[in-house]
Amino acid sequence: MHRIQLHYSLQDSASSHIIQHPLLDMLQAVADQGSISGAARVLGLSYRHVWGALKKWEAQLGREVILWGKGHSAQLNPFGLRLLLTERQAQARLAPHIEAVQAELERTYALGYDEHTPILSLHASYDSAYSLLRQFAGAHPQHAVHLDLTPCVSVDALRALHEGRTTLAGFHVLQAAGKHSMAAHIYKPLLHLQHYRFIRLGLRAQGLIVAAGNPHQLHSLQDVARQQVRFVNRPLGTGTRVVLADLMAQAQLQPGDILGFDDEEPSHNAVAQAVAQGQADVGLGIASAAQAKGLDFIPLCQEHDLLVCHATLLQHPALQALCTLLRTPAWQNRLHSQGGHDSTGCGDIYTLDQCLPWWTCAPATTAANT
C-alpha cells in the first residue's frame, strides 16, 4: 500500500491546487492534451522529462498509467484515469479542511512576522470567492488585511458570530426568500436586527451544474425530478441546502421526487467534480465551480452574498480597511472573473432589514450610515 505525505511551501503567490503532486499534474495534462508532447508544453517541461517521469512513476506503482501503443495519441489507461479521478475527488472534498489548516498557519506567520497587518477572523461558507478574498486582502499593498478564514457551513458561520468566536461571518441567502421561507426559519434566530450589520459582497447566482453541452437538457428542478437524473446534494446546514429547500417549495417538489437527494458532497467544487467524473448528472451550486471543471451552469436564482459583523465594530481600522478594499475596482474585477458574481454595491454597509425581506421596518435600497 502506498502512503501519503503532505508538505507545504512558503511563497508569495497562491497555487491553483492546495496540494499538488507531479504525477497527478502530468496525468491531468495528458488527459487534457491527448499527447505527451502537449502535456510537456503546458507543464513547461521537456518531452524527455515527462516521458521519463511517467515511466518512473509506473515502475514505482507497479502498474502502467498510460496507453503506450505506437502510432496512437497518448491517453490514460483505465487505472490511470481512475487514479486521477479519485485524487481530484479527494482534493475537492478535503480542500475546505486543508484550507483551514493553511489559514491557521498563515495567521501564525502573520502574527510572528508582520505585526502591522491587521487580522480579522472570518467564518464563511464554502465559496471560492472567500478564498480569493483572503488571498487578495493579504496581497493588496494599500489596504492589506489578513483574513483568518475558517470554511464552514453558513449556519455554523452565523453561530460562531453569535457566540463571539469570530469577527465576521460570511453567508448567502436567496434574494427572493419571504417571511415563511426556510431561509427565514433557519437564519432569523441567529441574526439580531439592532446588533448586526451587513457588509455587502454583491449578488451571486445559484444554479444547476451539469455536464458540458447539458446532455439531459435540464433547465429547472422540475426537469431534474421528471427525468429522474442522478442528483448530488449539499449537507444540512449549508446555505445551498437552504436555497434548495426554498426552490423545491416553490416548485412543489418533495425530497422523494429527486433521485439522489440523500447523496451529499461537502462543497461546490466537490459537487462539480462528482458531475465531471460521471458520479452524478446534476447538482446545485455556483458558476465558478462549474467553470473550473469545464461544465455547464444553468442559473436558477440570485442570492445576496453578505458578510455579517457587530455594528459596534464597524469603525475598527481593520474593518474599515476591508470595506475600502471591497470597493476597489481591482477587487471587483477579480471577483467578476470567478463567474456568477455581481459586485454591485460591494463594500456597502446595510442594516438587516435593508437586505432581508423578513424585516419590514426600513426601505430595502438605502445604505446604512453606521
Domains of the chain with CATH codes: 22-87 (1.10.10.10), 117-355 (3.40.190.290)
Contact 125, 285 (CB under 8 A): no
**257 — pLDDT class (breaks 50, 70, 90):** very high
Measure the CA–CA gap between 179 and 189, rounded to whole angstroms: 13
The amino acid at residue 122 is L
CA 28, CA 41: separation in Å to the nearest integer?
13
Cell for 269?
467544487
Task: Give the per-residue pLDDT at 245.
Answer: 96
Q: What is the pLDDT of residue 128?
A: 82
Reported as a single tens digit per residue, the pLDDT across 72-116 is 577 888 888 888 878 877 777 777 677 767 766 766 666 556 666
Q: Taking each helix axis as running N to C, give the angle between helix 22-33 and helix 78-113, from 0 to 180 degrees, rounded to the nearest 10.
A: 130
% pLDDT > 90, the chain: 45
Over residues 19-31, the pLDDT tens digits come to 678 888 888 888 8
CA gap 247, 254 in Å, rounded: 11
Strands (E), the chain: 66-67, 75-76, 119-124, 146-151, 168-174, 196-210, 231-232, 282-286, 296-310, 341-342, 349-350
- pTM value? 0.74
Distance CA 180, CA 130 (A): 29
**Centroid of chain to Cα 38:** 29
Spatial neighbors of 83 by CB under 8 A, at least 6 apart, are 24, 27, 65
Ranking 180-189, 240-249, 257-266 by mean pLDDT, the lowest is 180-189
